[in-house]
Chain A
Amino acid sequence: MNTILTITNLTKKFGYLTAVKDLSFTINKGNVYGILGPNGSGKSTTLGIVLNVVNKTSGDFKWFDGNTTTHDALKKVGAIIERPNFYPYMTAEQNLKLVCKIKGVDFSKINEKLEIVGLLERKDSKFRTYSLGMKQRLAIASALLNDPEILILDEPTNGLDPQGIHQIREIIKKIASNGTTILLASHLLDEVEKICSHVVVLRKGVKLYSGRVDEMISSHGFFELKCNDNEALMKVLENNPAFSAVKEKDHLVTAFLNEPLKSETLNKYLFDNGIVLTHLVQRKESLEEQFLQLTDKN
Chain B
Amino acid sequence: MLRLLNLELQKLLLNRTSKVLIFVSFILPFFVILLSSFKINFFGIFTLELGELGIFNFPLIWHLTTFFAAQFKFFFAIVVVSMVGNEYSNKTLKQNLIDGLSKKEFILSKFYAIVFFAFISTLLIALITLCIGLYYSSYTEIGIIIRETEFLLAYFVKLVGFFSLCLFFGMLVKRSAFALAFLFILFILEWIAFGLMTWQMNSDIATKIQNFFPLQSMYHLIEQPIQRIAMTKFPDKTEIAYDYAVHWYEIIIVLGWTALFIFLSYLLLKKRDL
Identify the A interface with B (CB < 8 A): 14, 48, 51-55, 69-75, 77, 79, 81, 83, 85-90, 94, 97-99, 101-104, 142
Residue of chain B at shortest CB distance from A90: B14
Contacts of A48 on B, CB cut-off 8 Å?
Answer: 273-274
Size of chain B's interface in residues, with CB distance under 8 A?
Answer: 28
Contacts of A71 on B, CB cut-off 8 Å?
Answer: 97, 100-102, 105
Contacts of B86 on A, CB cut-off 8 Å?
Answer: 87
Residue of chain B at shortest CB distance from A77: B100
Since A75-B99, A86-B92, A98-B10 are in contact, a sample of 19 more A-B pairs with Cβ atoms closer than 8 Å, ordered by chain A residue number, is A51-B97, A51-B98, A52-B98, A52-B103, A53-B98, A53-B273, A71-B97, A71-B105, A72-B100, A77-B100, A79-B98, A81-B98, A86-B90, A87-B11, A87-B86, A89-B14, A94-B14, A98-B7, A103-B100
Contacts of B96 on A, CB cut-off 8 Å?
Answer: 102
Could you pull out 16 A-B pairs where Cβ atoms are within 8 angstroms? A51-B98, A53-B97, A54-B273, A69-B102, A71-B97, A74-B97, A74-B100, A75-B99, A75-B100, A85-B92, A87-B14, A94-B10, A98-B7, A99-B99, A101-B10, A103-B99
Q: Mark B239-274, 1 if CB is under 8 A from A, else 0.
A: 000000000000000000000000000000011111
Identify the B interface with A (CB < 8 A): 3, 6-7, 10-11, 14-16, 86, 90-92, 94-103, 105, 270-274
Residue of chain B at shortest CB distance from A97: B10
Q: Is the CB of A74 within 8 A of B99?
A: yes
Main secondary structure of the interface of B (DSSP, over half): helix
Q: Is the CB of B94 within 8 A of A102?
A: no
Q: Is the CB of A86 within 8 A of B95?
A: yes
**Distance, CA A81 to CA B98, complexed state (A):** 9
Contacts of A53 on B, CB cut-off 8 Å?
Answer: 94, 97-98, 273-274
Q: Is the CB of B97 within 8 A of A52?
A: yes
**Distance, CA A85 to CA B87, complexed state (A):** 10
Q: Is the CB of B14 within 8 A of A102?
A: no
**Distance, CA A70 to CA B104, complexed state (A):** 12
Contacts of B3 on A, CB cut-off 8 Å?
Answer: 101, 104
Contacts of A55 on B, CB cut-off 8 Å?
Answer: 270-273
Contacts of A72 on B, CB cut-off 8 Å?
Answer: 100
Q: Is the CB of A83 within 8 A of B91?
A: yes
> What's the nearest-Cβ distance from chain B to residue A34, in Å?
20
Q: Is the CB of A85 within 8 A of B7?
A: no
**Distance, CA A73 to CA B97, complexed state (A):** 11
**Distance, CA A74 to CA B102, complexed state (A):** 9
